[in-house]
Amino acid sequence: MASTARARGFDMAHRINGLMHVGLRCADIERAAGFYRSLGFEPRQTLALGGPVAVQFLQLGELTLELYQLPDEGLTRPASAYGIDHIALRVTDVAATQRWLAELGYPVIEGPTLQPSGANGVRYLMIAGPDGERVEFSQPL
Instruction: Report the CATH number at residue 56.
Output: 3.10.180.10
Q: What sign does the CA torsion over 16, 21, 24, 28 have?
A: negative
Grade residue 95 by pLDDT with cuts at 50, 70 and 90: very high
Question: pLDDT at position 25, please?
Answer: 83
Q: Distance (Å, rounded) from C-alpha 81 to C-alpha 67?
A: 14
Cis peptide before 130 (omega within 30 of 0): no
Select the more confidently predicted residue: 10 or 16: 16
Tell me the C-alpha to C-alpha distance, in Å, between residue 140 and each of 115, 126, 127.
10, 15, 18
| Containing structural domain, residue 53 | 2-140
Residue 13, pLDDT above cutoff 60: no
Name the pTM for this structure. 0.61
The structural domain count of the chain equals 1
Averaged pLDDT of the chain = 80
- Tens digits of per-residue pLDDT, 25-79? 888 888 888 878 887 789 999 987 777 788 999 998 888 988 888 776 655 555 5
Select the more confidently predicted residue: 133 or 58: 58
- Starting at the earlier edge strand, list the strands of the sheet with 63-69: 42-47, 54-60, 63-69, 16-25, 83-91, 134-140, 122-128, 108-115
Q: Distance (Å, rounded) from C-alpha 10 to C-alpha 17?
A: 14
Grade residue 130 by pLDDT with cuts at 50, 70 and 90: low
